[in-house]
Amino acid sequence: MDKINVTRSSLPPYEEYCAEIRDMWDNRWLTNMGEKHRGFQAELAGYLDVDNIELLTNGHMALELTLQALKLSGEVITTPFTFASTTHALVRCGLEPVFCDVDPADFTMDASKIEPLITEKTSALLPVHVYGNICEVEAIQEIANKYNLKVIYDAAHTFGVKYKGRGIGNFGDASCFSFHATKVFHTIEGGAVAYKDAFLGRELARLRNFGLEGQEDAVEVGSNAKLDEFRAAMGLCNLRHIDEVIAKRRRVAERYRERLENIPGVQLGPIQPEVTPNFAYFPVVFDEGIFGAGRDKILSALENEDIHARKYFYPLTSELSCYQGRFNLDRTPLAKWISQRVITLPLYPDLPVEAADKICDIIVSCEK
Ligand SMILES: *Cc1c(COP(=O)(O)O)cnc(C)c1O
């Protein structure tokens, strides 16, 4: 069997992409919100089932510019069990991350632990829909309403996920999506913000283009975070195939679940009620004391067969070298426990089910 990585980017048929970009050789409109950008934006709003969405150059800038657009200050309550981007966005915007522990069953921020962290400096909540598992959106909104806080979701993992029949981008003030090449849906690099209030869309559109207003003046200290036409074209193509991509992921994820569920000491991600999932990741938490093998042993047994799973997320963002000494790591013991034991298994549309079987055979054999 060939080398298996944790993920493999999906691509549309080559000819389909070439046909999509053909007219750019005539019109020479390559970036700055052209026809592809507008077309992709409209299609995307339809697919994600949201009223308002703005496209950006990547998911990280979606987070940064949303934080800037909302003019937040002080402290933001967030989770350390995420990709570096979530925490970096806060710090780069001059905000202080305050880390809340996670719910060990679904790895998202534990809403019941938010209130004690709120101070007079708190301006917002930044939870993450980790691995495609959705946060407790209703409980989080109640807290936000009670204390007058903004809610920004890092929705990088939840492309296409629905809750109670509604697109996940409808919750909170804003939801930031990533269209990076490794995600369920991608534009090579890219991102978007689904948002509630019209003013936020206007702000984002300005901030992604240097804060320019009209031809001459910049009214805000903006950045450059535009999604170009080639990547919008990739988005249009990939969107035509997304349902098939998710269906193929489902096959692999369901095989993993069949093979690994009910093994003592092996915790899988949850099946959340009333959620339409996207099968973005397949995390498995190994409790060595019960299962008999720890994650390093399992990872190296897989490596021996040229199968590359990942410790994702490890370390916590609060433990990254760039933040050394800055945060109190004792406040999020459950996040730490999970990050020390979790592996995400290879999962992509073209992964053969036989490969998933082989991966499960190797894992089960580590037990002995
Ligand atoms: C991928 C990712 C991001 C960043 O998105 P980019 O498009 O790579 O900038 C942010 N948060 C999480 C949780 C991610 O997985």
Does 213 share its domain with 83? yes
Q: What confidence score (pLDDT) does residue 360 get? A: 98
Does 161 share its domain with 47? yes
Nearest to 366 by CA among 300, 268, 312, 306: 300
The best mutation among 9, 63, 83, 316 to test binding of ligand 1, ranked by most ligand atoms within 8 Å of the C-beta, falls on 83
pLDDT tens digits for range 295-305: 999 999 999 99
Does 214 share its domain with 276? no
- Give the pairing type, strands 275-276 and 266-268: unpaired
The best mutation among 88, 128, 157, 180 to test binding of ligand 1, ranked by most ligand atoms within 8 Å of the C-beta, falls on 180
pLDDT tens digits for range 243-299: 999 999 999 999 999 999 999 999 999 999 999 999 999 999 999 999 999 999 999
Catalytic residue among 36, 183, 248, 336: 183
Going by alpha carbons, the residue nearest to atom 2 of ligand 1 is: 156
According to DSSP, residue 155 is labeled -
Does 334 share its domain with 220? no
Ligand 1 centre from 182 Cα, in Å? 10
pLDDT tens digits for range 68-86: 999 999 999 999 999 999 9
Average pLDDT over residues 96-124: 98
Q: What confidence score (pLDDT) does residue 2 get? A: 82
Which CATH number goes with the domain that contains 181? 3.40.640.10
According to DSSP, residue 165 is labeled T
pLDDT tens digits for range 5-56: 999 999 999 999 999 999 999 999 999 999 999 999 999 999 999 999 999 9
What's the mean pLDDT when you consider all of the chain?
97
Ligand 1 centre from 345 Cα, in Å? 18
Does 229 share its domain with 282? no
Is there a domain that residue 7 lies in?
A: no
Does 291 share its domain with 362? yes
Which CATH number goes with the domain that contains 332? 3.90.1150.10
Is there a domain that residue 164 lies in?
A: yes
Q: What confidence score (pLDDT) does residue 226 get? A: 98
Give residues (CB < 6 A) around ligand 1. 58-60, 82-83, 85-86, 128, 154, 156-157, 178, 180, 191
DSSP codes, 56-120 = ES-HHHHHHHHHHHTT--SEEEE-SSS-HHHHHHHHHTT-EEEE--B-TTT-SB-GGGTGGG--T
Does 104 share its domain with 232? yes
Is there a domain that residue 2 lies in?
A: no
Q: What confidence score (pLDDT) does residue 1 get? A: 66
Is there a domain that residue 5 lies in?
A: no
What confidence category does residue 161 fall into, taking pLDDT thresholds of 50, 70 and 90?
very high
Domain boundary among 179, 211, 237: 237
pTM score over 0.85: yes
Asked about 297 being catalytic, the answer comes back as no
Sign of CA dihedral 243, 249, 252, 256: negative
Does 113 share its domain with 168? yes
Ligand 1 centre from 316 Cα, in Å? 15
Does 42 share its domain with 181? yes
pLDDT tens digits for range 302-323: 999 999 999 999 999 999 999 9
Domain boundary among 221, 237, 253: 237
Is there a domain that residue 8 lies in?
A: no
How far is Cα 52 from Cα 41, in angstroms, rounded to an integer? 9
Does 247 share its domain with 321? yes
Average pLDDT over residues 185-206: 98
Does 46 share its domain with 176? yes
Q: What confidence score (pLDDT) does residue 333 get? A: 98
At a CB cut-off of 8 Å and minimum separation 6, what does 239 contact?
A: 40, 43, 44, 47, 185
Domain count, the chain: 2
Is there a domain that residue 128 lies in?
A: yes
Q: What confidence score (pLDDT) does residue 178 get? A: 98
Is there a domain that residue 6 lies in?
A: no
Ligand 1 centre from 74 Cα, in Å? 23
Q: What confidence score (pLDDT) does residue 367 get? A: 85
Is there a domain that residue 273 lies in?
A: yes
Q: Which atom of ligand 1 is nearest to the CA of 58?
A: 7
Ligand 1 centre from 202 Cα, in Å? 23
Helix axes 295-303, 353-366, angle to 10 degrees: 130
Q: Which atom of ligand 1 is nearest to the CA of 180?
A: 7
Domain boundary among 197, 215, 237: 237
Q: Domain range spanning residue 279?
A: 242-366
Does 201 share its domain with 321? no
The best mutation among 55, 60, 161, 231 to test binding of ligand 1, ranked by most ligand atoms within 8 Å of the C-beta, falls on 60
| Cβ–Cβ < 8 Å for 54, 193 | yes
Going by alpha carbons, the residue nearest to atom 6 of ligand 1 is: 59
Ligand 1 centre from 88 Cα, in Å? 11
- Token couple for 196: 């509630």
Going by alpha carbons, the residue nearest to atom 14 of ligand 1 is: 156
